[in-house]
A and B are shown apart, each in its own frame.
Chain A
Amino acid sequence: MAILVDENTRLLVQGITGSEGSFHARNCIEYGTKIVAGCTPGKGGLIWENKVPVFNTVEEAVRKAGANASIIFVPAAMAADAIFEAADSGISTIICITEGIPTSDMMAVHSYLRDKKIRLIGPNCPGVISPGKCKAGIMHPEAFSPGKVGVCSRSGTLTYEIAAMMTEAGIGQSTCVGLGGDPIVGTPFPEALRLFQEDPETEAIVMIGEIGGNAEQAAAQYIKEHVTKPVASFIAGSAAPPGRRMGHAGAIITGTAGRASEKKKVLAAVGVKIAESPTEIPQKIREAMALHKSKKGR
């Protein structure tokens, strides 16, 4: 088991004929991911690189190729349309890599998905990897190794960095999910935590947060009420000034809740082990797991 993607994932690539889409589709296939279809309107009938059938619509890709998950690489102006199309065509796991989607487009998406059994990851994210099973994302695979710690993060590169540090320390990962750096994302921390909590293969969770918004506070509330597995966390942006957008659209301190210090405080209060720098994550997750074991033993 893992969460979101595994050996049973039949992936569709929306935007497979674009430069980003084809580059990453190639890397995912190389990793072992089953890419069963591509979708580019107007290119239906093409066999991409003599391997993957391309369809004009997602509906066709689902019906003819049996796609059950989708990864989206289409440009920002068309990305919301692509998410709607995937959701409307019966795709249950949608991973949107695209950066720069207007917030109002995402509000419409969010409202549409609200009561449906569809999982959206992203946008503005690196995707998902279940090491050794499936890579539906743009991450550098060498950083990851199979194991029992789930990782969820608002950041891309920092996830690779932390996963690599864990891998070097001999701590493998069940699944690593990049949730996205935008103010509105399909799967915020509480949902990701729920998936890891319910996954029998995941024994502990690493949560990589950052300044801005109050997603980490919502996570702390969720951990307090529902999470029994040990959690360690790093929150990026302790040194960031308020009022300035630090790269990610969502990474801006607008109130007290947006500060790293505040987020660390509320997480620590519910028993999360806090790493002051990314390098401390392997040690903190070990501590959290050891503490958990000793509590269980008693």
Chain B
Amino acid sequence: MKIHEYQAKALFAKYGIPVPNGRVARTAGEVGTIAADLGGKVVIKAQVHAGGRGKAGGIKTAGSFDAQQVAGQMLGTRLVNHQTGPEGVPINSVLIEEALEVEREMYLAILIDSATGAPVLMASEAGGMDIEEVAAKSPEKIIKVPIDPGMLSFQPFLARKIAYGLNLSPTIVRQAVSLINGLFSLFKSQDCSLVEINPLVVTKDGRLLALDAKVNFDDNALYRHSDIREMYDAKQEDPLEVEAKSKGIDNYIKLDGNIANLVNGAGMAMATMDTLKLAGGNPANFLDIGTINDPARVVNAFRILTTDPNVKAVLVNIFGGMSRVDVIATGIVEAFKQIDIKVPVVVRLRGTNLEEGERIIAQSGLKLIRAKGFMEASQKAVAAAAGKIS
């Protein structure tokens, strides 16, 4: 789960990580008050779940007199860049912060290294840039310090390795050790999957601060952090995905193609998308329907898939293991009863209780396009989407 920068900074403050003075605002009026309180120059930052805000016009500097006007032009619009897709994400709030005089920009993060099964501290003197790009072009600029879980608690030498690696002056080293200690404490106690400060800055008056803050949480651990769960902002997500979740379909991701697909199993769903592409098509979504024991979930999935106006065909690709094919078949028949499905539907069924499933479909008299093979199913879906078969 992602949260906004202002929420991440509130967490930072709680864990003793210095952040600039500032407050969040939802209206231009509030912005005016906050800017006046802060005095002097302020930075206005769009609060959206996307990076690359600066280039997309989501970060602006203003004086306390014109902050209200600048923020007013931002609030209520959508931020669009390569990370958000063409629809963008809504700017419903902005963070107003004091503008600082920055001497150095660096990068600092804690993430999980799945190869070692342990967290790793990552830092770079190249701050404020896309860290992926730094890693690709000049990997020597990245410092990695693995944190052995066997140490039970965080040890300051790990932070010192980072601080000296970043060539910080002696007074700043002390601040850095305290900051990194706080960051790890946050990472561990709140079940974060990522904490990232980009940039981490040294100001001209010799302070170390988190100018930006990104915190992601492990979805699997949210059950033990109700306060974190409350920070979820559904407005930042695709509305169809939010609706799918509300209907118990957790693994639906909207894509930009025109062939919808309904599959059981994440690997199968990805392989179905791949095969659609190989057959010359373009998937409209990823959907792992999981283990099905209720036909109603199939109906809900059809409802979500056919709501997407781009969809020209639906492919159902099921290998019943724990999910029974007869339950899926009942769901398909039920979906046609409850929803006005206007696009051709290709169905491939295999696995547990296949015969019963086939009998249910045959008895319904529905006009479905049937396929036996994996590739054959994708090819037929591509042809159906192009209007060549129905």
Interface string of A60-90 (1 = CB under 8 A from B): 0000000000000000110000000000000
Contact for B320 among A140, A239, A241, A244, CB less than 8 A: A140
Contact for B322 among A138, A234, A255, CB less than 8 A: A138
Please tell me if the beta carbons of A238 and B118 are within 8 angstroms of each other in the complex: no
Contact for B117 among A110, A244, A255, CB less than 8 A: A110
Contact for A184 among B112, B188, B278, CB less than 8 A: B112
Q: Does B37 contact A (CB under 8 A)?
A: no
Q: Does A157 contact B (CB under 8 A)?
A: yes
Contact for A247 among B149, B191, B218, B269, CB less than 8 A: B269
Complex Cα gap A148–B251 (Å): 35
Minimum Cβ distance to chain A for residue B167 (Å): 26
Interface string of B232-275 (1 = CB under 8 A from A): 00000000000000000001010100000001111111110111
Contacts known (A247-B286, A278-B374); A161 close to B268, Cβ less than 8 A: yes
Complex Cα gap A196–B115 (Å): 20
> Which chain B residues lie closer than 8 Å to A236 at the CB level?
267, 270-271, 274
Complex Cα gap A210–B265 (Å): 13
Please tell me if the beta carbons of B149 and A108 are within 8 angstroms of each other in the complex: yes
Contacts known (A249-B219, A255-B132); A158 close to B268, Cβ less than 8 A: yes
Complex Cα gap A77–B191 (Å): 13
Q: Does A154 contact B (CB under 8 A)?
A: yes
Q: Which segment, of A10-18, A96-104, A169-177, A286-294, faces chain B?
A: A96-104
Please tell me if the beta carbons of A107 and B112 are within 8 angstroms of each other in the complex: yes
Please tell me if the beta carbons of A247 and B220 are within 8 angstroms of each other in the complex: no
8 A Cβ contacts from B212-237 to A: 218-221, 223-224
> Which chain B residues lie closer than 8 Å to A211 at the CB level?
270
Q: Does A220 contact B (CB under 8 A)?
A: no
Minimum Cβ distance to chain A for residue B389 (Å): 20
Q: Which residue of chain B is the closest to A240 with respect to CB atoms? A: B270
Please tell me if the beta carbons of A158 and B322 are within 8 angstroms of each other in the complex: no
Q: Does B307 contact A (CB under 8 A)?
A: no
> Which chain B residues lie closer than 8 Å to A105 at the CB level?
221
Q: Does A106 contact B (CB under 8 A)?
A: yes
> Which chain B residues lie closer than 8 Å to A165 at the CB level?
374
Q: Does B308 contact A (CB under 8 A)?
A: no
Please tell me if the beta carbons of A160 and B191 are within 8 angstroms of each other in the complex: no
> Which chain B residues lie closer than 8 Å to A202 at the CB level?
none
Q: Does B22 contact A (CB under 8 A)?
A: no
Interface string of B272-309 (1 = CB under 8 A from A): 01111110000100101000000000000000000000
Q: Which residue of chain A is the closest to B320 with respect to CB atoms? A: A140
Q: Does B86 contact A (CB under 8 A)?
A: no
Complex Cα gap A181–B218 (Å): 14
Complex Cα gap A101–B221 (Å): 7
> Which chain B residues lie closer than 8 Å to A208 at the CB level?
267
Task: Find the residue from A107, A157, A181 having the highest chain B CB count within 10 A.
Answer: A157
Q: Which residue of chain A is the closest to B188 with respect to CB atoms? A: A104
Complex Cα gap A157–B271 (Å): 10
Contact for A246 among B118, B221, B253, CB less than 8 A: B253
8 A Cβ contacts from A105-139 to B: 105-108, 110-111, 126, 138-139
Q: Does A250 contact B (CB under 8 A)?
A: yes
Interface string of B363-388 (1 = CB under 8 A from A): 00000000001110000000000000
Q: Does B160 contact A (CB under 8 A)?
A: no
Interface string of B301-335 (1 = CB under 8 A from A): 00000000000000000011110000000000000
Complex Cα gap A250–B112 (Å): 11
- Give the interface residue-count category, chain B: 35 or more
Complex Cα gap A111–B119 (Å): 11
Q: Does B54 contact A (CB under 8 A)?
A: no
Q: Does B73 contact A (CB under 8 A)?
A: no
> Which chain A residues lie closer than 8 Å to B132 at the CB level?
255-256
Contacts known (A161-B374, A213-B114, A236-B274); A107 close to B321, Cβ less than 8 A: no
Please tell me if the beta carbons of A155 and B277 are within 8 angstroms of each other in the complex: no
Q: Which residue of chain A is the closest to B267 with respect to CB atoms? A: A155
Please tell me if the beta carbons of A103 and B220 are within 8 angstroms of each other in the complex: yes
Complex Cα gap A104–B110 (Å): 13
> Which chain A residues lie closer than 8 Å to B265 at the CB level?
155-158, 247
> Which chain A residues lie closer than 8 Å to B191 at the CB level?
102-104
Complex Cα gap A278–B286 (Å): 17
Q: Which residue of chain A is the closest to B189 with respect to CB atoms? A: A104
> Which chain B residues lie closer than 8 Å to A276 at the CB level?
274, 278
Please tell me if the beta carbons of A157 and B319 are within 8 angstroms of each other in the complex: yes
Q: Does A159 contact B (CB under 8 A)?
A: yes
Complex Cα gap A100–B223 (Å): 10
Minimum Cβ distance to chain A for residue B17 (Å): 20
Please tell me if the beta carbons of A239 and B277 are within 8 angstroms of each other in the complex: yes
Contacts known (A154-B267, A157-B264); A238 close to B114, Cβ less than 8 A: no
Please tell me if the beta carbons of B266 and A248 are within 8 angstroms of each other in the complex: yes
Please tell me if the beta carbons of A246 and B266 are within 8 angstroms of each other in the complex: yes
Complex Cα gap A246–B274 (Å): 13
Q: Which residue of chain B is the closest to A256 with respect to CB atoms? A: B136
Q: Does A183 contact B (CB under 8 A)?
A: yes
Please tell me if the beta carbons of B352 and A140 are within 8 angstroms of each other in the complex: yes
Q: Does A215 contact B (CB under 8 A)?
A: yes
Please tell me if the beta carbons of A279 and B266 are within 8 angstroms of each other in the complex: no
Q: Does B60 contact A (CB under 8 A)?
A: no
Complex Cα gap A238–B278 (Å): 10
Q: Which residue of chain A is the closest to B257 with respect to CB atoms? A: A239
Q: Does B148 contact A (CB under 8 A)?
A: yes
Please tell me if the beta carbons of A160 and B321 are within 8 angstroms of each other in the complex: yes
Please tell me if the beta carbons of B268 and A155 are within 8 angstroms of each other in the complex: yes
Q: Does A200 contact B (CB under 8 A)?
A: no
Q: Does B203 contact A (CB under 8 A)?
A: no
Complex Cα gap A233–B255 (Å): 26
Complex Cα gap A279–B268 (Å): 12
- A-B residue pairs in contact (CB < 8 Å), sample of 11: A101-B220, A155-B270, A157-B321, A158-B268, A160-B319, A161-B350, A215-B115, A237-B273, A239-B283, A243-B83, A248-B266
Residues of B in contact with A (beta carbons under 8 Å apart): 83, 112, 114-115, 117-119, 132, 135-136, 148-150, 188, 191, 193, 218-221, 223-224, 251, 253, 255, 263-271, 273-278, 283, 286, 288, 319-322, 350-352, 373-375
Give me 8 other A-B pairs in contact (C-beta within 8 A), A140-B321, A278-B271 excluded. Answer: A107-B149, A210-B270, A213-B115, A214-B115, A238-B274, A247-B251, A256-B132, A278-B374
